[in-house]
Amino acid sequence: MMQDKINQYTAEIKAANPANAAELEEFRIKYLGTKGIIKDLFDEFRTVSPEEKRVLGKVLNEFKQLAEAKYAELKESQESRAKSQDIDIDLTLPGEGFELGSRHPLSLTRIEIIDIFKRLGFVVAEGPEIEDDWHNFSALNFPEEHPARDMQDTFFIKKNSGKDDIALRTHTSSVQVRMMESGKPPFRAIMPGRVYRNEAISARAHCFFHQVEGLYVDENVSFSDLKQTLYHFVQELYGEGTKVRFRPSYFPFTEPSAEMDISCTICGGPGCNMCKYTGWVEILGCGMVDPNVLENCGIDSKKYTGFAFGMGIERITNLKYVIRDLRLFSENDVRFLKQFQTEII
């Protein structure tokens, strides 16, 4: 009976498990070959009665499909097994390695600045880049509608009456306020971050840049503490022997205020392009925290005094690496960035 044979072959095919290519080929020849079982069955099919044909036609076709599918499946699994065995893994070969990126020069400078101040006991604090009027201006003693606010070209996000204004912070001095409001003296912190000003982008100006703010508030903090701290900072950053000088200046939040210059890091004094032939370059603003600012932040200005300073990280970086175009810092040109390949710190 054909049906019985087909049943038997079906079971055989389902169980077939050729161990190698030769056995697989035997399987193919046995069932699917030109003189194989399927060919025989089709020959036999031609001889059966029409009634039987009606039933067996379908059975036979299904059987043929099963044999073909099984063969395809076995072949595929043997091939993929062979492929994975082909890969010769030599574990003694050196690895391919991957290219290490480099730190952005501004990050290098920021890390270095933080490091110096950390050794003096300063902690690092941060604040939001979107600021309200109070933290960016009012608490820092900028009088309302006073031209002092024009010192900084502000990007306003919401501009109402002054008090409710929301803006991109124009300086990191806002973080001083946040810090003093939320804690108790003594404070000794540096506050790095990005700041924004509405300036046309050029080699010398950008609409965003980076600052580090410093704040030291305690009993009996004096201007000489300020001078000594900043003097030490400059020696650490630019090397022993770098000279400093303080020039009187004005900031609403410090009294007295000063700007600090250092002897030109490029020419060392005689004068060059970088220092505009003066031998000096300005690197930061500083001063004694105005008592109004302390009071605005809930700190007793009779008991506590403090100093503050703020510097631009771009400027400090330019003086270290002689970079003359600010735009390089934000263009992400790897040819520029690659030059700062340093050990990752």
Q: Which is nearer to ligand DAH, 237 or 293 (CB)?
A: 293
Which of 285, 313, 314, 316 binds ligand DAH (CB under 6 A)? It is 285
| 265 near ligand DAH, judged by CB under 6 A | no
Radius of gyration, CA atoms only, the chain: 40
Residue 310 binds to ligand DAH (criterion: CB under 6 A): yes
Does 126 show up as a binding residue in the annotation? Answer: no
Q: Does 178 bind ligand DAH (CB under 6 A)?
A: no
Does 306 interact with ligand DAH (rule: CB under 6 A)?
no
Interacting residue with ligand DAH among 110, 135, 149, 171 (CB under 6 A): 171
309 touches ligand DAH by CB under 6 A: yes
For ligand DAH, the closer of residues 189 and 264 by Cβ is 189
Buried b (16+ CB within 10 A) or exposed e, 94-132: eeeeeeeebbbbbbbbbebbbebbeeeebeebebeeebb
Residues 133-162 that bind ligand DAH (CB under 6 A): none
Check residue 252 for interaction with ligand DAH (CB under 6 A).
Answer: no
In the complex, minimum distance from the CB of residue 241 to ligand DAH, in angstroms, rounded to a whole number = 25
Determine contact, residues 31/64, Cβ cutoff 8 Å.
Answer: no
Min dist. Cβ of residue 287 to ligand DAH (A): 4
Residue 309: which residues within 8 A CB-CB, separation 6 or more? 213, 214, 226, 230, 260, 284, 285, 286, 287
Which residue in 251, 280, 304, 329 binds ligand DAH (CB under 6 A)?
A: 251
Is 286 a binding residue for ligand DAH by CB under 6 A? The answer is yes
SS3 for 87-156, per residue? Answer: CCCCCCCCCCCCCCCCCCHHHHHHHHHHHHHHHCCCEECCCCCEEEHHHHCHHHCCCCCCHHHHHCCCCE
Please report how close the Cβ of residue 225 comes to ligand DAH at its closest, in angstroms: 13
In sequence order, the 6+-apart residues with CB closer than 8 A to the CB of 162 are: 133, 138, 144, 145
Pick 50 or 248: Cβ nearer ligand DAH: 248
Planar angle of CA 168, 172, 176, nearest 5 degrees? 120
Task: Give the footprint of ligand DAH on this chain (CB under 6 A).
Answer: 171, 173, 213, 251, 254, 285-287, 308-310
Residues of the binding site: 255
